Structure 1
């Protein structure tokens, strides 16, 4: 009995051993191998196919604005009017001067005819005849000058009506009614842009340009092999594909890039000059690429690492060499094999050698929820 009591006392003083901690649960994705398109993206901006700056060609006070800002205008449509009174007076004066010079020419011609009739009778000298011929020639020149002055005055009067040189969308007016405007004005009156098609300007590196154009002197001929997409500021993809328009004549020596213009159809004029533009294109296809969710790849001290779950469900931290991104996945060039499993969620719970309970990873981008 004493022994039993002693045994009972000892058992009461020792707590029970703690239950073992279960392995952490992690979400894993299996490495997928397949042929994938490799895309490139370039950031740029949009610009009108043609941007016509509207300037005043004569000086005067702006008296009328005939167009509505932001609306489509047709070539030849009246946009502005400058007060024409001064220019109408100049035209009237030029017409009067022309009439006077024509009268002088008529008189000079009659004088020359009289001298010609009197010369055989020795009533006038040869010098008189020469003077009469010279006066008529001078009068003819004065008439030509007067006619040119009339034409110039008509042009100046015509410049009082400012019309659209192209079809397009007219921008905000930078001049107000009553402003004194003219060729010396600091800014244009407005700008008209042709928006369909519209240009996207991007910068290609020398390497990219060579990749596109090697053995293809005209880069535009390469466009059939590219699916040029425009990504808008809200992340949506513009529904109309683009095509190469031209490459600039030279590489920028400061940036090592060359400017390229891409044309996009723009029905409805949704796109406007100055908008943000991200252009995306498939530049090649990579056979047998290994794909890993981007969330599974981390960077530590300049190295890219993934947590691999081995067949015995223990964790191995392994360096990898990522290449391009395809959507939400990395293309891995080195460090993994098809069929291996990597931890996507729960990596903070483990360390090398930890035993885990793997669960399939549910891709948020595919389901929209977790």
Structure 2
């Protein structure tokens, strides 16, 4: 019986083995491919800056007294010469009255001494009076004239102090929240600030730059053929919510010295502010062009593979075969890198993103369009 089944089993296995087929070759891996770009690249440095009005003028009292009235809307626009605060003028009216009374007294004295002097002048010539009496009358007349000058100045000063009871806007602009209210007592002094008026037609932005960065930019701009001379003067800003400010500014000046405490130099730039979107005290991001690379080779950052400090990319070759190639990278530009060595403008590279891609693979390239800072389609 075993002899009967053995040939049959052998025949069955033979038939099964004949049905096995070679597995089909998997299709080439689809990999997104981009072209290496060559273009001029303007590299920007970012700094933190603070905004100021074109003019930020503090309102200080010039006489002491009680605030009687506030004659403006806080946070609103005021015009040059507009009445802002009124200080109780009664004490200063009294001073004016006293000064005017003193002046009248001096004028009466002047009239008497003048009359005495003029009366004695012909008498001294005939020796009707002594020379001593005449000299005394002349001295009294001169003293009265000097007293008139002093009294007149006192009246003028008293009237000026009275005028300081009406505090007016020194410029047209936006006024802030008042630091005093009706009934508060104020006095002159740098610490006694009533309010601040800001001219927001233009705004100023101050920011600091490290000494090393300043020296590098200065040396680059000093070159005869430097393209940075015009570019570095034009700057842009980002607001606190990350949106770009629509107006472009220009650097007005740099401070005369490097701050020894921070090792930085302060710059100031001016911006137009037609919509008064920027207010004093805001913090913004300053973008300044600090370097220019002509005809730079740039590639997307996501195409770069870094292993043990070596940066590489997959380069598409003949017959859709990719080979890994080492490259040297320069500074970053938006979401790309500047390549200083290893690629040419005619190269095409893989975006990567898959561990299945290996050097020597034959792929199905999927060409993508890209530009720095824009999503790859």
Which structure 2 residues correspond to residues 59-70 of structure 1 after superposition, within 5 A? 59-70=64-75
- Structure 1: distance between partners of 2:273 and 2:88: 38
Question: Tell me, which stretches of 5 or more residues in structure 1 are unaligned?
Answer: none
- Structure 2: distance between partners of 1:34 and 1:111: 102
- Structure 1: distance between partners of 2:328 and 2:168: 64
- Structure 1: distance between partners of 2:146 and 2:97: 20
> Which residue does 1:159 correspond to in 2?
164
Which structure 2 residues correspond to residues 104-253 of structure 1 after superposition, within 5 A? 104-184=109-189, 186-204=191-209, 205-212=214-221, 222-223=229-230, 227-253=234-260
Q: TM-score, normalised by structure 1?
A: 0.82
User: Is contact 2:87–2:166 with CA below 8 Å preserved after alignment?
Assistant: yes
Which structure 2 residues correspond to residues 288-303 of structure 1 after superposition, within 5 A? 288-297=295-304, 303=309
- Structure 2: distance between partners of 1:251 and 1:51: 25
Q: Shift of the alpha carbon at 1:22?
A: 6.1
Q: Shift of the alpha carbon at 1:202?
A: 3.0
Which structure 2 residues correspond to residues 26-65 of structure 1 after superposition, within 5 A? 27-43=31-47, 44-65=49-70
- Structure 2: distance between partners of 1:232 and 1:165: 30
User: Is contact 1:304–1:321 with CA below 8 Å preserved after alignment?
Assistant: no
> Larger C-alpha radius of gyration, 1 or 2?
2
> Which residue does 2:339 correspond to in 1?
332
Question: Could you tell which deviates more after superposition, 273-282 or 137-146?
Answer: 273-282
Q: CA offsets, 1:235-289, max 9 Å, x none? A: 3333332223222222334444432222221112122222233333445653332
User: Is contact 1:47–1:200 with CA below 8 Å preserved after alignment?
Assistant: yes
Residue 158 of structure 2 aligns to a residue whose secondary structure is: helix
Cα–Cα, structure 1 residues 115 and 35, in superposed 2: closer, same or farther, change >3 Å?
A: same
User: Is contact 1:315–1:356 with CA below 8 Å preserved after alignment?
Assistant: no
Q: Shift of the alpha carbon at 1:160?
A: 1.0
Residue 268 of structure 1 aligns to a residue whose secondary structure is: coil
Q: How many equivalent residue pairs? A: 360
Q: CA offsets, 1:54-96, max 9 Å, x none? A: 1111111111111222222222111111111111111111111
Residue 228 of structure 1 aligns to a residue whose secondary structure is: strand
Cα–Cα, structure 1 residues 23 and 178, in superposed 2: closer, same or farther, change >3 Å?
A: farther
Question: Tell me, which stretches of 5 or more residues in structure 2 are unaligned?
Answer: none
- Structure 2: distance between partners of 1:35 and 1:334: 15
Q: Shift of the alpha carbon at 1:339?
A: 4.3
Q: Shift of the alpha carbon at 1:159?
A: 0.9
> Which residue does 2:275 correspond to in 1?
268
Q: TM-score, normalised by structure 2?
A: 0.80
Residue 191 of structure 2 aligns to a residue whose secondary structure is: coil
Q: Over aligned residues, Cα RMSD in angstroms? A: 3.6
